Structure 1
């Protein structure tokens, strides 16, 4: 029996997560009152028909949400196994989502969206601490979120606690505001000055081979991989759920894309959840 509670910040993707869980065979209920968890657990743990249950719950239930802690105590006391998936996103991403959907934040009470988000973060601190997996959906598409849930609940891969977003960009268009680590690869020979390579991008084999034929490119990639591998466990220990690594060159078209692609492949082999984004590839 897999008994999963999906909770987190409003606008972080709980409804989408429940749809994905339903697609992979879970019996799902959204906006479920936590006080009813004990009765539901008794029902399903004694059933032979349903062996995968996912419940969505959040602060839309108001005071009722506080019942979740006594409900979880009941599950522990009766030795019912359960998992908590906590979804979150950056303030900027949440504000954008609420504005796009023209929805009111459930804790805004007629005030600003940001005040509601900050209030909700504070009230969810304890349940976040108890979560088995914390998934930051800031840069995740619906398909990527579904894939992550699939990895956890179908493939049985353990979520390492952090999502790594590898991004290429062009300095001429500005450094990404959400970048945690920024690396400048403008020291590498520039394919832009090769007529044959100028219209191509780092996604093309010829550009990739040109950039990576230089010894400094190979050494840089090796050192970059070692440093990221060293840093990630410490970011996880400090509770960081997403790390944005930005690789920049002049236009964000050749060198940065090549190195970002290579780093992405290396981190994937180490079973990290990695997202690849070429921010400025279509600018020129």
Structure 2
């Protein structure tokens, strides 16, 4: 299924964009620590020349401050660079909730680049509209709303560190549990609702625990609809994820929610990760058996109980074959 060869891996080219105050500069600093050549806000007309001259992986910051900024021009540049088979071009978009951005600007007393009259809210709204096409086309959306700097570093390193295998080819799958009252994960590609399953919250001895505890997981799994639900999610992902690869996606975030994000969704994410990480977890699709799989329990992370972790780490030095998807 996999074979190492002497063909050099495509050189990674990252275009990092997003909302001012959402952490783009922090992401670029982390990438610089990961041995990327970092250039922040060069004129758009210089992108091709920068890439042509670079000898290492490159991370280029592009946002509303960039001279000649235009979302369509950025997307045209991405499409143009992707024609080169020796490059692996990815567009990253950093975002955060408006209230969080306002708080960050208040704390730093910095001026928003699009707040011409000092109104930060208007600047955020203008920039959101201006960069909306980039967010829609992004390979990876990083929402830093509830992501402190150490967690952001861990996240970026897990995706892009050459030493952790973050430079491997193929699809990286992130499985996330969350609580609906806290809002939908904005980076999610697919969202599934587990609130119809019976809730351990109403069992006094289980309420303070989480789906990481065996007795909570057993309670959730005893629901007669749990197994069919998990089976159908698994079957859907076996169909959808290989098609994501065909469409050029490099990251897929699957979010499963419940009322508190502590019991049912956590149980399902853990079980689903175990299934997908199994050698035959993606069925007969070639190459999918080595796709990296990440787990995050959003509400537990906010409470300091857990963080990102690998269900299956990237395999360095190997390239999966493209999945063989039946013709439509």
Q: Which TM bucket (shorter chain)?
A: 0.5 to 0.7
Would the alpha carbon gap of residues 181 and 221 (structure 1) be closer, same or farther in structure 2, given more than 3 Å must change?
closer
With the length of structure 1 as denominator, give the TM-score of the two structures: 0.66
Map 1:124-273 to 2 at 5 A.
Answer: 124-127=131-134, 131=138, 133-138=139-144, 141-142=151-152, 143-150=154-161, 154-158=167-171, 165-167=176-178, 169=179, 175-178=181-184, 181-185=192-196, 187=198, 192-193=203-204, 200-226=209-235, 244-248=255-259, 253-266=262-275, 271=291
User: In the TM superposition, what is the alpha-carbon distance from 1:222 to its structure 2 partner?
Assistant: 2.6
Larger Rg computed on CA atoms: 1
Query: In structure 2, what is the Cα distance between the partners aligned to 1:199 and 1:126?
Result: 43
1:86 paired residue number: 92
Higher helix share: 1
User: In the TM superposition, what is the alpha-carbon distance from 1:81 to its structure 2 partner?
Assistant: 4.5
User: In the TM superposition, what is the alpha-carbon distance from 1:119 to its structure 2 partner?
Assistant: 1.5
Q: What is the DSSP-based 3-state SS (H/G/I as helix, E as strand, rest coil) of the residue aligned with 2:203? A: helix
Would the alpha carbon gap of residues 210 and 155 (structure 1) be closer, same or farther in structure 2, given more than 3 Å must change?
same
Query: In structure 2, what is the Cα distance between the partners aligned to 1:128 and 1:190?
Result: 36
**CA-atom RMSD in angstroms:** 4.6
User: In the TM superposition, what is the alpha-carbon distance from 1:155 to its structure 2 partner?
Assistant: 1.9
Query: In structure 2, what is the Cα distance between the partners aligned to 1:281 and 1:129?
Result: 26
Query: In structure 2, what is the Cα distance between the partners aligned to 1:103 and 1:97?
Result: 9
1:119 paired residue number: 126
1:63-108 CA-to-partner distances (Å, cap 9, x unmatched) read 43359939939x76x9684724231325435445444544332112
Q: What is the DSSP-based 3-state SS (H/G/I as helix, E as strand, rest coil) of the residue aligned with 1:107? A: coil
With the length of structure 2 as denominator, give the TM-score of the two structures: 0.59
Q: Does the aligned pair in 2 maintain the 1:181–1:244 contact within 8 Å? A: yes
Task: Say how many residue pairs are matched.
Answer: 263
1:65 paired residue number: 69
